[in-house]
A and B are shown apart, each in its own frame.
Chain A
Amino acid sequence: MITRRQALIGGAATSVALQAPALLAQPREVVIGVIFPMSGPSAQIGRDARFALETALEIVNGQYDFDLPTARHAGLPGLGNAKVRLVFADHQGDPQKGRAEAERLITQERVCAIVGAYHSSVAATASVSCERYATPLVIGDSTSPNLTRRNLKFFFRTTAHDEMFSVAMFDFLDAQRAAGKQIKSIALFHEDTIFGTDSSNVQRQLAKARGYNVTADVKYRANTPSLTSEVQQLKNADPDVLLPSSYTTDAILLVRTMAELGYKPKNILAQAAGFADQAVFDAVGDKLGGMISRASFAIDMAAQRPTIGRVNDMFKARANRDLNDNTARQFMALIVLVDAINRAKSTEGAAIRDALAATDIPGAQTIMPWAGCKFDKDGQNATANPVLIQYVNKQWVTIFPAGSAVRGPIWPMNG
Chain B
Amino acid sequence: MQIESLLQVFASGLLMGLLYALIAVGLSLIFGLMNVVNFAHGEFLMVAMYAVYSLWVVTLLDPVLLAPVATAFLFGVGAFAYMGVVRFAMRAKSNVSMVQIFATFGLAIFIQGVAQYFFTPDYRSITDTWLGGKTISIGGLFLPAPQLIGGLISIVLFIGLYLLMSRTDFGKALEATREDQGAVALVGINRNKVFALGWGLGAALVGAAGAVLAIFYYIYPQVGGPFALIAYVVVALGGFGSIFGALAAGIIVGLVEAFTAVLIPPSMKTIAVYSLYLAVVFIRPNGLFGRL
Contacts and interface: CB of A to CB of B under 8 A. Distances in A.
Complex contact flag A–B (Cβ < 8 Å) = yes
Contacts of A229: 9, 12-13, 257-262, 266, 269
A256 B254 CA distance: 18
Interface stretch (B82-90, B213-221, B235-243): B213-221
B123 A249 contact: yes
12 contacts: A43-B121, A229-B9, A229-B266, A232-B262, A233-B261, A235-B5, A236-B5, A252-B125, A253-B218, A279-B125, A283-B218, A287-B133
B12 A43 contact: no
B8 interface: yes
A248 B123 contact: yes
B217 A253 contact: yes
Contacts of B267: 191-192, 219-221
Interface of A: 39-41, 43-44, 46-47, 191-192, 218-221, 223-226, 228-230, 232-233, 235-236, 248-249, 252-253, 256, 259-262, 277, 279, 282-284, 287
Contact of A40 (B5, B222, B227): B222
B123 A252 contact: yes
Interface string B264-287: 011111100000000000000000
Contacts of B127: 282-283
Of listed B135, B261, B265, residue having the most chain A CB within 10 A: B261
A260 B142 contact: yes
Interface of B: 1-2, 5, 8-9, 12-13, 16, 20, 113, 116, 120-125, 127, 133, 135, 137, 142, 144, 147, 216-218, 220-223, 225-227, 230, 254, 257-262, 265-270
Contacts of B5: 232, 235-236
A182 to B, nearest CB: 24
A118 to B, nearest CB: 13
Given A219-B265, A220-B261, A252-B123, 7 more contacts: A41-B220, A41-B225, A229-B262, A260-B216, A261-B135, A261-B142, A284-B125
Contacts of B270: 221
A282 B219 CA distance: 13
Contacts of B113: 39
Nearest to A229: B261
Contacts of B122: 44, 47, 279
Contacts of A249: 123, 218, 220, 223
Contacts of B217: 253
Contacts of B225: 41, 223
Contact of A225 (B227, B260, B268): B227
A43 B254 CA distance: 30
Given A253-B218, A259-B133, A283-B218, A232 B12 contact: yes
